[in-house]
A = this chain, B = another copy of it.
């Protein structure tokens, strides 16, 4: 693994996970030293403490949903912003230290999220297999190379199986082909990345009240400004059952008036809203925009109101 070092990127390790694959796709990856950590929180803390320039962490999986550890860690970390995102296709292999048949596998080690993504395959093909939880897919794989492997086989990324020289018993075993995980690059606050015309903005918004309509009123602020919501996750604040905040990705960039205006509107009803960054979309999909929420429409409206206040 190249360690050149003008930049230091911490990431959810160990080496060989999908997160490292994501890191390799991030801006600046070629010059970056890669620092694996044992948890999302640890990766983010290194940035906060100045020991890394940015962290790469998973935020959302197309099958399993939001990565709650990241959502919660990012939302409480007051001095971080997301500056980039990337997508990594998720595919799994069943691998063993020594060549063996499927029928010989009586226990498999993997991370619980990976296990969830091969559940149906495992129930069909290995109905009586024992599941051994591992702290990461790579950790499960690494264990196979030790003197005391925790299981007969591991479910892991193809890359790690290759790096470790494991025997691949089965591949493409994920229940839902085409699954993708989204990773974000998290840095200290600073200038927001330039607007590209195909951007996303991430925010967290505490629900101001526990009543019918409170969420709806929040969403109206986006609807009246034509701001699409690409992702919405409810997360408990932890203070009481039924006390939520929402983590959302919005189409558009904070420098677009429609986004700025919607966030200002939300700030009035939920002042603890947090801005986690505006950054280019990984899929590069340019946004459609209604004419009434274009920059021109906002500018015309502002000028009109300003002229009224001056001259009636």
Contacts and interface: CB of A to CB of B under 8 A. Distances in A.
Contacts of A239: 176
Given A133-B134, A230-B242, A241-B60, A254 B305 contact: yes
A264 interface: yes
A31 interface: no
Please tell me the size bucket of the interface on A. 35 or more
- Count the copies: 4
A36 B147 CA distance: 33
Contacts of A312: 81, 189-192, 275, 277
Contacts of A116: 69
A69 to B, nearest CB: 7
Interface stretch (A7-15, A46-54, A156-164, A215-223): A215-223
A298 to B, nearest CB: 7
A234 B236 contact: no
Classify the secondary structure of A's interface with B.
Answer: mixed
A228 B241 contact: no
Q: Which of A212, A216, A228 gathers the greatest number of chain B CB atoms within 10 Å?
A: A212
16 contacts: A62-B241, A63-B236, A65-B68, A133-B134, A192-B308, A210-B228, A212-B223, A212-B228, A216-B219, A254-B305, A260-B305, A264-B305, A267-B301, A268-B292, A268-B298, A275-B312
Interface of A: 38, 41, 60-66, 68-69, 81, 87, 112, 116, 119, 131, 133-135, 176, 178-180, 182, 189-192, 210-213, 215-217, 219-224, 226-236, 238-244, 254-255, 260, 263-265, 267-269, 271, 275, 277, 292-293, 297-298, 300-302, 304-305, 308-312
